[in-house]
Structure 1
Amino acid sequence: MTAPHLLPAHELERTAVVANNSMNRERGLAGVNSYARELGLDPVAHLTAAADRSSAPPSWLDLCSGEGRALREACSRLPAGSVLTGVDLVGPLVPAPAPAGPELLVASVAEWSPPRTYDLITCVHGLHYVGDQLGLLARAASWLAPDGLLIGHLDPLSLRLADGAPAGRAAVAALRAAGFRYDARRHLVSLRGPRTVRLPFRYVGADPAAGPNYTGQPAVASHYAVAPVAGAGAPQ
């Protein structure tokens, strides 16, 4: 097997596969092309329930948020003071209309970290374009509020060893051991509640020439070396 040419994060994010203008640009809250359809979850209903359980306004972090349309639509349906944050490598292509809505940040999710925790963290088809997919999931696990939910799409076929051999089955097993759930039919990975996650993999680079994934769109393959660790999945 010929090992693929792997790129570090700063080079990967300059490739056409990753730095594109079409990923998640116009997806709204409900309907055919929506978060509710893709996640099997109504974000507003989830956040409203979170607000009912707490005295604090609800909070939502959307990773790889595109234009932030879903976050904007949620603004008028959530209590005053709700915290809505979107992070995207490209960001909105046009300025947000007044009045001010969610905080939409242009940043790399590989490097960005929030100053707070969130009741809901979503990543709708965004992991397909992230180099260290497992690393982002592990980091995001610590960004959850006490009863928070992390949910997003994951394609195990895009997780490989340094030489290109499949790593998806072992990676999913490690995620489950750390407390995550994985729905293979819908390609959804999820986690309830914050925790410290250490997975037995060391990221070595990504291949932007991996080709289409289950969505039919070109995606990134993330490559790892096996690196056993102790103390994975400890709740915070």
Structure 2
Amino acid sequence: MFQSNILLTISADMGGWELFQNSLWPMIQGGIKYTIPLTLISFVLGLSIALIIAIMRLSNRKYFTFPARAFVSAIRGTPLLVQLSIIFYGLGSIGLTIDPFPSAIIAFSLNVGAYASEIIRASILSIPKGQWEASQTIGMSYSQALRRIILPQATRVSIPPLSNTFISLVKDTSLASLILVTELFRKAQEIAARTYDFMLLYIEAAILYWIICFVLSIIQDRVEARLERHIAR
């Protein structure tokens, strides 16, 4: 109700600066309530999917590798917007209705899972084979070696590209506006529909996305610098 009252106070005859000020808080609220949670939840779930898919891809058994390869190919070979539409509109048309926010989480998680699985797989493959052999000589099983020796080293390798995936996901969440998730960009669209000042409001949304990504980039740089110092030791 509070958000609706704010939106109703924005009229088409406002000056540019006044419109910018009045629309800022509703868009920030959309970011706090939907954009950031959508990004975090999807990324965590996506990483879980990615790890499973990466391990399946590394298996010598075709009944593991084939489904994993098919999943990665299907997700990476189709647009995210189409995936969102299938999950929200397509499944709804056959009687399987999923609310907008969970639909977005499913789509983004699957998308992150496919792309991040290749990052994780490449990171695991980058670990020298001697590490595997050393773990076997001390009696570790495959799963123990993977958990205690390989994955900790692969994690350091994979953090920079996974950080880029996370930042890209922040921007991709704007697509959730097309399935009615009232995240940051959807708020900009709603206000623009009332004021008809699309240019100003879309630029304002772009600035907010840029600020979020800029802060995340600073955090990424600091994490990578700390990892480099740790490796140097």
TM-score (norm 1): 0.23
Counting helix residues as a fraction of each chain, which structure ranks higher? Answer: 2
TM-score (norm 2): 0.23
Bigger CA radius of gyration: 2
